[in-house]
Structure 1
Amino acid sequence: MKLMKFYTSPLFDLPTPFSINLFWNFGFILGFITTIQVISGLFLSMLFIPSESDAFFSIIHIMRDSNSGWFIRLIHSNVASLIFLCVYIHLARGLYTSSFKTKSHAWNSGVTIFIIVMAAAFFGYVLPWGQMSYWGATVITNIASAIPYIGIYLVKWMWGNFSVSQPTLNRFFSIHFIVPFFMLMMMVIHIILLHSTGSSNPMGSKEDMEKIEFQIMFTIKDFLFFSSIFSLVFISISNYPDIFMDPENMNEANPLKAPVHIQPEWYFLFAYAILRSITSKLGGVLALIFSILILFFIQIKGLSKVSGKFSPIVKLSFWIKVSSFLILTFVGMKPVELPFSVIGKVSSFLYFFI
């Protein structure tokens, strides 16, 4: 009995601030929808053919001929966008409440999960072997060629050929299948680290007298919010199934004809805009990498003076950061021309400076 209490106490008897709002529900939602994503991906892998000539048509077969295949595939593709939406809100809440200062280990594990999710999303985006998938993979993998001396060899090693082709598809499928299991492992570690200290208080207080037990009030709130979010997903699948898909990806990959405007999915657009805003290829690659790694560095003493107390300057800088992120996402959809190129440069500067 004592052993059971040892394992369940951090989850059910955890002291939780009574003032936390719906922005604290997104962590719970991420756990559930990630599990759904892994299960749906497992079913899709049974029917998907990682072949240069058959990958595109295997997706059509899943959508048209397989029993409920259309539903599983649309769940998988739409929940991918939902995961990133929830991740960005979850990260923004952590930045706003300064969780990276009070719960550094949980923050670092969360950022690690974010990087793993981005990797899984990129490899999965290539698998349908549509026009945008193929050329997106070509552009993104070519980024490694900016590394001096070894860059071109590294690109060919990733491709397994002289261009994106059959070996590339095989490797990306294998990695996309394996990576989510590491993600689930990191999520367990993240939950353990978080529940060892408890959730942060939006009021800035650390006193246990202002907290209540997690079970059952917050469990009901989590499931209620989850049901609301997933109802919107079902509405999207039923009425707007292709809302997050690029029309170019409805065409089979053609290595001889590139799309007029190559762009990644919406959740990568901010990093893509930063990459394009730097004229130097190596500088753009470094800026792209540090646009993610900067989440680790904000904890360094001297770079962040954030405390649990309310600070108008800190909150203003947070909203400038969010605004620059949204503007970069918008600019990433646009061609590299005036005024978007100038807006991208200014927003990139604000993104790093703030």
Structure 2
Amino acid sequence: MFFCLMKFSNALIEWYHPNKRDLPWRDTKNPYFIWISEIILQQTRVQQGLGYYMRFIEAFPTIESLANAPLEKVLKCWQGLGYYTRARNIHLTAKFVVDEYNGVLPNTYAGLLKLRGIGDYTAAAIASFAFDEPVAAIDGNVYRIYARVFGIYAPIDKGVGKKIVREIATAEFDLKQPATFNQAIMDLGGQVCLPKNPLCESCPIKAICYAFKCGEVASLPVKALKTKVRDRYFYYILIRYGIFTYISQRKDKDIWHSLFEFPLIESYHALQPEEVMLTSDWVDICGNGRVEVTYISDEQKHLLSHQHLFSRFFIVEVEKPSYLLLRDYTKVLINDMEEFSTPRLIERFLAAEPAAKYFIKGVDF
């Protein structure tokens, strides 16, 4: 390992000033804005998250406005970002901070860690960016950079590897410029020291980088865990009962908790449309009256981090609602569907599929 402490910090910060990304949450010391930006950027690329951040701050400009908003409005504003637990947690945390701390976020790393949905990295980022607390913010970018620069072969997703990186990150940390150092190393990971095809020749610390010198860039960092991807098959039944349809809110501890969806038939293997219509679930949803299937979509693939979803949409006109629809679903005006927060794949179907115009407006397709 090459422990060139001053060289590392100086080279990094010298590179950062002319190369830093122009991002709105960097122009403020407001801990609320910084908190929202950090939560949005979890599992989300900066360019994608930027628009969501601007819309979210416009909708909820203060922590009080977020705390007082109904969850449904928060989820609607979050729609499309995925990982909806993040939205539910910031809503709960905003309520807690308003009720317990008079709307003022804690101004220390230790205090921030006590809040729901705020872990080590997020607490360190807020504490350093908003309050200049000298604490290293260590995210995936930082783990990758230190593993390459210092030749760490211990898996960074295991305890030993994490411990080594944290010790080095603490030793390397620039106590005099905590916010600048944290932002600089994140930008280096986001612009230069990329997971794949890093721009090593443009890297300001290549002279002290173990992986670059030894030709090990592609081998580092090492990860031990590989999560198995699960395939699921979703068949949505878009009921059209006059000007009404039926939806329900997902309650199980599963993806899309609290979002609204149409009646769903789920299978753990692919079904042809005619097989879907022969299931007992189909009969329960559509009932025994006159049923007309007016549209069946092609299969669509939707990728989540650990799941691949294969979906089809059936538009079905019914003479009368089934007992199951009356008991377990909510009848809503079809034209009001856009007011409900739905999973991205449903939102995408309703916005882009020509048949959805017929479903929503009764327009031929």
Q: TM-score, normalised to structure 1's length? A: 0.25
> Which structure is richer in relative contact order (CA contacts within 8 A, separation 6 or more)?
1
Structure (1 or 2) with the larger CA radius of gyration: 2
Structure that is richer in strand per residue? 2
Q: TM-score, normalised to structure 2's length? A: 0.24
Structure that is richer in helix per residue? 1
